[in-house]
Amino acid sequence: MEPTASRLFSPFDLRGVRFRNRIGVSPMCMYACGPDGLATPWHMVHLGMRAPGGAGLVVAEATAVAPHARISPADLGLWSRAHADALAPITQFISGQGCVPGIQLAHAGRKGSTRSPWIGRDAVPESEGGWQVQAPSPLLFSPLNAMPREMSEADIARTIGEFGAAAGLAFEAGFRYLELHLGHGYLAHQFLSPLSNRRTDGWGGDFEGRTRFARALAKAARAAWPDELPLAARLSITDWVEGGWTADEAVRLAGLLGEAGVDLVVCSSGAIVPGAMPPDGPIMQLPFAARVRAQAGVASGAVGQITEAAQAEQIIASGGADLVFLARAMLRDPFWAVHAAEALGAPAPWPIAYGRAVGQRQGRVQRPQRP
């Protein structure tokens, strides 16, 4: 069979980085660390196995920029040289597979100091390794969470600095794509949404004030991250709640983030208050990526219930996004990208060591790129 000209399997260039195709493994919290936040063999296997699986980009989970920035005591962290050193073999392996290693930097704010989700949703007390959580305003996320302390000017300045420092460590660890987590109800989103930000100083109030923290994070990360590498941001495009953060505001912010050096906005939604989710599931987010791409002057990533090769192909081919990000489909099938290529009649990016056995029989193995 002659290979078809798949858009999903066409390369994509962002700054000095080439993605071999348009498929990204979406960041997924693993709650697999000890209290030191250091990467473990689980991360090597979980992230590593998805690179031979054919994706163009593998993004490590929401990674805390400081101990008190974690969601749970089992989160991955990046606040010291030791954290970068623990991640370096993983990025080296992923790069060696012709795949771009990426990482998402995050701060949980008022959603922090909770248990791993399979243990419970309640707050971890300080006596059990929890911490005092911080947020733009002293408003509870849910009755199960701890009451946050309102962040001072000094707290805000320190946090912006922590994002910048973590961006520098991410480069040293070998990551070549950096994503700022500005969505899903975590700290930056808590500043963006009027539902969680009731400040009356320069960090709240109107659009300008509520977006100031997110814009400052973008500037700090860009200053510490090499010019030739892509910087991305994940936004909740809407809160799905009356009186909350809106798609119009998100598109405007995406444009401002672009001016601050962000190259790509991944378009997610919801999670600022309990139950604030897309009514018919995350598939409802997909049109946001087309809107941001068309109106904000940045590249966009689509995420949410992308499961089928033809669906992903259609999103890219129709200009609906520059990259597609898959989470749960990648958990079910780490070789999703290889199988998608086969379904679309494109050269299948089997790793060379497997391709001789499984791919070349069909005569359409793509030789892996070497770094």
Ligand X SMILES: Cc1cc2nc3c(=O)[nH]c(=O)nc-3n(C[C@H](O)[C@H](O)[C@H](O)COP(=O)(O)O)c2cc1C
Binding footprint of ligand X on the chain (CB under 6 A): 26-29, 61-62, 104, 181, 184, 234, 268, 282, 303-306, 326-329
Left, alpha or beta for 188 (phi > 0: left; psi -120 to 50: alpha)?
alpha
Tell me how far CA of residue 73 lies from CA of 70, 191, 281, in angstroms.
Answer: 7, 23, 29
- Give the shortest CB-152-to-ligand X separation in angstroms: 27
Q: Two tokens at 125?
A: 């007390």
Nearer to ligand X, 46 or 212 (CB): 46
Active site residue 186: yes
- Give the shortest CB-147-to-ligand X separation in angstroms: 24
Task: Find where tokens 């689509």 sit.
Answer: 302
Give the span between the Cα atoms of 275 and 252, in whole angstroms.
Answer: 25
Q: Where are the beta strands (DSSP E) in the chain?
A: 12-14, 17-19, 23-25, 57-64, 100-106, 134-135, 149-150, 177-182, 231-236, 264-268, 299-303, 323-326
> Which residue is catalytic, options 31, 177, 186, 354?
186
- Give the shortest CB-236-to-ligand X separation in angstroms: 9
Nearer to ligand X, 196 or 366 (CB): 196
* The one-letter amino acid at 108: A
Nearer to ligand X, 70 or 364 (CB): 70
- Give the shortest CB-264-to-ligand X separation in angstroms: 14
- Give the shortest CB-71-to-ligand X separation in angstroms: 8
Report the half-sphere exposure of 284 (CA within 13 A, side-chain side): 14
Tell me how far CA of residue 131 lies from CA of 112, 117, 153, 363, in angstroms.
Answer: 8, 17, 20, 56
Nearer to ligand X, 27 or 244 (CB): 27
Tell me how far CA of residue 158 lies from CA of 23, 151, 163, 169, in angstroms.
Answer: 35, 10, 9, 16
Nearer to ligand X, 157 or 283 (CB): 283
Give bridge partners of residue 59 from the DSSP assignment. 102
Residues that are catalytic: 186
